[in-house]
Chains A and B, each alone.
Chain A
Amino acid sequence: NAGVTQTPKFQVLKTGQSMTLQCAQDMNHNSMYWYRQDPGMGLRLIYYSASEGTTDKGEVPNGYNVSRLNKREFSLRLESAAPSQTSVYFCASTPWEGRTEAFFGQGTRLTVV
């Protein structure tokens, strides 16, 4: 099983450029999440989707949009990248809401210059 797959693994953007981070899971999980991790800050929740067709803001949603395309896929879009969005982004999924183990992708290392 591939589990949770994130693409790309690395990306460098110029300020103002846009891009979409892709996440797909093949475990038939209902809930999916996007986090960012900065040194000393831990993982901060950007957006989450409790089930297909729903999305909700997390702790740090400003500057991001998400789409729960179907049950498998949950994408994160940066419309106009800023240096403050330089971070490692992790996607995660859980079988049912947050009550069991979360499975993570390997992360996307994004640098905005």
Chain B
Amino acid sequence: RKEVEQDPGPFNVPEGATVAFNCTYSNSASQSFFWYRQDCRKEPKLLMSVYSSGNEDGRFTAQLNRASQYISLLIRDSKLSDSATYLCVVVMNRDDKIIFGKGTRLHILP
């Protein structure tokens, strides 16, 4: 089983819709979780951290489910500018490795 798994998509979603992604991780000792955004041929950039209590930043909500070992990202009222690849990131605190999922491609359709 891969350490971090994501549905690669693409998700083709009309503008204004709500879209959700999940990401599963295999190592229960994982301690830190993040969502990154990557635009075509650019470097990844942090979208948001994921906390045990869940967190929200504007139209974006991230959740962590430790029991089931997955994290989620919800985007409400999607914009054309949300089109990108969304990368799930898990950090193994025992050895400081930052592990990326393969990413989920999102296309927002006008």
| A42-B102 CB under 8 A given contacts A90-B44, A106-B43 | yes
Q: Is A92 an interface residue (CB 8 A)?
A: yes
Binding site for A on B (CB under 8 A): 8, 31-32, 34, 36, 41-46, 49, 87, 89, 91-93, 95-103
Contact pick for B93, options A41, A45, A92, A99, CB 8 Å:
A99
- In the assembled complex, the Cα of A35 lies from the Cα of B38 at a distance in Å of 14
Binding site for B on A (CB under 8 A): 31, 33, 35, 40-45, 48, 50, 56, 58, 88, 90, 92, 94, 97-102, 104-107
| A42-B103 CB under 8 A given contacts A98-B32, A104-B43 | yes
Q: What are some 10 contacts across the A-B interface (CB < 8 A)?
A: A33-B98, A48-B96, A50-B95, A50-B96, A58-B97, A97-B93, A102-B98, A104-B44, A106-B42, A107-B41
Contact across chains for A40 and B93 when beta carbons are under 8 A apart: no
Across the interface, which residues of B come within 8 angstroms of A44, CB to CB?
100
- In the assembled complex, the Cα of A50 lies from the Cα of B91 at a distance in Å of 12
Closest residue of A by beta carbon distance from B91 = A98
Q: Which 6 A-B pairs have the closest CB atoms?
A: A42-B102, A98-B91, A104-B43, A97-B96, A43-B100, A98-B98
